[in-house]
Structure formats: structure tokens, C-alpha cells
Amino acid sequence: MDNAIEVMQSVIASYHNHPKWISAPLSGIKTLSNTHVGSAGQDFVRKWCELNGLTWEGSYSVQSPWDARIEGITFEVKTATEDKSGKFQFNHVRYHRSYQALLCLGVGPDAVLFNAWRKGDVTEGVAGKLASMDKGSSATFKLTKKPSELLPISEFRDHVLELVQAIG
């Protein structure tokens, strides 16, 4: 048994986060499981809405077609960390879910970025090119964004209110 632990420790040691995450202010997110990264993103959006005077209602049910209702509009919330190439990969974007807007939260080593689009803009490719996550399937997609394609979190309130008004 000790050999198995030693072998696994050596394998684990061969994998590591990109150096930009070492000692970074937001490095703790890299220790979370993918599911917890998503939950942390959703909790951040809730707290950020509260701090910015926006109404928020969340849905933590896996069966729910949306993750958050902000100012009466339903959002699918996707969270991604910056990869070693400097991009964010927002996974499991789905067309068939009943939500009105997609909100992508990008967490870098020292910055929180975001963008949000009407669902129609996502399905029509205005939000960016979606790539299938499963060859031959059209159920779940990935949206890749550069930091320059996202907005600073300081613009969250105004951008979300503009989007809510456009959907309204």
C-alpha cells in the first residue's frame, strides 16, 4: 500500500498549476473541484449583486434550467479560471435550458472579469464561437474567451442592468 501512495504522490507532484497562480491573491480557487469552482462563482455573483443593489434569487437545484434570477431575468452562470494560455474556457453551455441570459465569470490570478449575453446572442454566435464538448453531440458546448473579451467586474452592475433592460 505504501508504494501506491508514493507512486501517486510522485504523479501528483508532476502536475502543478501554472506559475502565475503561485502566491496569487486568488490562487485558492485552483484548489477547488470543478463543481466547487462553479458554486463559488455563483456565490460570488450573489454577493456581488447584493453589494451593488441588484436583486438576486438563486437556484441550486441541478434540475433547474437557470442558476440565478437577477433583476427578474434568469441567468445561466458559468465560472472558469484562467488557463496557462491566458484564456477562460466556460464549459457546459447548453442551448436547451430555459434561461434568458448567459453570465460568464472569469477568475484570473489577481482579477475577476465577466461578460453576459442574451441567450439569443449565444445561440446565434454573437457571444462567440461555441465548440462542442462531446464530438457528435449538440447538447453541451464550450465558450472560450480572452481576458480582453471580458469586462472588469467594476462594470457588472451597469452591464447587467443594460442587459436586463434589453431583455425586459
pLDDT tens track for 96-150: 889 999 999 999 999 999 999 999 999 999 999 999 888 767 788 999 999 999 9
Q: Determine what percent of the chain is predicted with pLDDT higher than 70.
A: 96
Confidence of residue 15 (pLDDT cuts 50, 70, 90): confident
Of 57, 100, 105, 60, the C-alpha closest to 78 is 105
The answer to whether 90 and 104 have CB atoms below 8 angstroms apart is yes
Higher pLDDT, 1 or 96: 96
Give the largest Cα separation in the chain, rounded.
61
> What length is written for the chain?
168
Total-model pTM: 0.90
Confidence of residue 61 (pLDDT cuts 50, 70, 90): low
